[in-house]
Amino acid sequence: MRDGRTRIARCLAALLGVLLVAPLMSCAPNAAQSPSSDNAQSQDATQAGPHTTLMSDFRNADLGCGWQPTGSMELRHARCFTVDYFEGGYALICTADGSRYLVIPPAKEVPEGLSPDIVALRQPLSDVYLAASDTLCLLEALDAQDVVSVSGIERDDWYSERMQQAMDQGRVVYGGKYRTPDYELLLGKGVRLALESTMINHAPTVRDKLKELGIPVFVELSSYEDDPLGRVEWVRLYGTLLNKDEQAVQVLEQQERQVEAIDAHPTGKRMAFFYFNANGTPVVRKPGDYVTKMIQMAGGTYAFDGLEQAAAGSSTTTLTMEQFYATAKDADVLVYNTSIDEEVRSLDDLLRKSELLADFKAVKSGDVWVTEHNMYQQMVESGDIIADLNRALRGTDEGVTHLRRLTATVHAPASAPSRMRLRARSLRESPLAGQSQTRGCER
């Protein structure tokens, strides 16, 4: 009996040791490396939430048919995709979850002997089922929103006026959420591509059914980027898909110029970014998160930098009111995330969430701001958002578009039907929501 217990104890100790030393790797493609001939997934992977695994070495330019790349896209910020070019206008996209997509130019054929794991995407791209809400801004930046014919998001959940108008006019129809698409409608509309967020990985049967119906699935990973401009650079991936490479570079460079124009000298000010959940509990971003990096790039210090890391797979953490009070009471600037909680339209609304906020330094000085409701659907304007955070830190309202300073005046109610939008899509869909993420490539 004693020997049996000893063996069990040793097994448990060994298992614990494995769990403690298992490394977490970030997305880190090396554009200069030679293409790998091994189609197997790298073992150096990061678990980025349920059913989504990110790889540290995912670039694989071996098409399986003997073709050699003629060049590669030189990425400036993004780390979760690569693009390799081949003769004839073909382009291979690799993403950090191990997926590969070959862009087939018009009037060209799929290469004979193409590796079976590669998804062929034919140009011109059209008739897209869009279930990744934050991707629309990238398409709109390229004047390519018309490629969408079916939406996986209901009309009133879009903040894009162009998308709302397209759905009002019937040019885009609602085809069901990512987990319950209307397959008959998708086929009837001739959908040629399902553009999904990583939430589709929570519904593997749906993904398999789409493939069975001949509808390729592209999983969007832009929100895994740990560099705010890395998110923007995903516009270059869509430029490749849509044959709008030059326009995509212009979009990126415009946001780069916004960041370069910021007076990035440290302001010496601390900024707290938060919201209260439905239970009245403060929810803040974890240190090193995408939003906290925007605050740093804007010249501020994130008020909760001293917190321990949130649990793996989460970009946010909840605090007790005592913890929140102790940490944020003396913060110079408060930013309330109304892309999650739309109930806060005035300073009075915020104080009704907690009367303790009246003691906060930023409340007394009038340095309390809210995000605009559409902020999470505007990743392509990350440079503008950073510039707005810089203005808030410096106390100026001039030119601010993505934030609004709170006053005691009650503003007109939001047009969306629901005041409290706790967007439980694992909230990858928002750089400002409680999405799942990992350090290095945020989900």
Give yes or no: residues 224 and 270 share one domain.
Answer: no
Gap between the Cα atoms of 126 and 6, Å rounded:
63
In sequence order, what are the residues at sequence separation of 6 or more whose Cβ sits closer than 8 angstroms to the Cβ of residue 268?
301
pLDDT in tens, 126-161: 999 999 988 999 999 999 999 999 999 999 999 899
- Region of 383 on the Ramachandran plot (φ > 0 left; ψ -120 to 50 alpha; else beta): alpha
Give yes or no: residues 151 and 277 share one domain.
Answer: no
Q: Is the pLDDT of residue 79 over 90?
A: yes
Domain-located, residue 422 = no
Closest CA to 303 of 287, 320, 318, 283: 287
Give yes or no: residues 292 and 336 share one domain.
Answer: yes
User: Considering the entire predicted model, what is its pTM?
Assistant: 0.79
- List the domain range (segments joined by +) for residue 197: 98-256
HEC readout, 377-417: HCHHHHHHHHHHHHHHHCCCCCCCCCEEECCCCCCCCCCCC
Q: Is the pLDDT of residue 17 over 80?
A: no
Give yes or no: residues 110 and 251 share one domain.
Answer: yes
pLDDT in tens, 231-266: 999 999 999 999 999 999 999 999 999 999 998 789
pLDDT at 226: 85
Domain-located, residue 322 = yes
Give yes or no: residues 231 and 110 share one domain.
Answer: yes
Give yes or no: residues 252 and 267 share one domain.
Answer: no
Q: What's the mean per-residue pLDDT of the chain?
A: 83
pLDDT in tens, 166-197: 999 999 999 999 999 999 999 999 999 999 99
Q: Which CATH number covers residue 198? A: 3.40.50.1980
pLDDT at 8: 43
pLDDT in tens, 296-320: 999 999 999 988 654 555 688 999 9
Are 201 and 51 in contact by the 8 Å Cβ rule? The answer is yes
Domain-located, residue 179 = yes
Give yes or no: residues 224 and 106 share one domain.
Answer: yes
CA 88 to chain centroid: 32
pLDDT at 77: 96
pLDDT at 342: 78
Gap between the Cα atoms of 364 and 358, Å rounded:
7
pLDDT at 42: 32
pLDDT at 195: 98
Give yes or no: residues 388 and 318 share one domain.
Answer: yes
- The total number of structural domains in the chain stands at 2
pLDDT in tens, 56-77: 799 999 999 999 999 999 999 9
Give yes or no: residues 111 and 244 share one domain.
Answer: yes
Tokens representing 153 are 């998001």
Q: Is the pLDDT of residue 32 over 90?
A: no
The larger pLDDT score, comparing residue 160 to residue 442, is at 160
* Mean pLDDT across 265-294: 93
Are 23 and 440 in contact by the 8 Å Cβ rule? The answer is no
Give yes or no: residues 268 and 375 share one domain.
Answer: yes
Q: Is the pLDDT of residue 428 over 80?
A: no
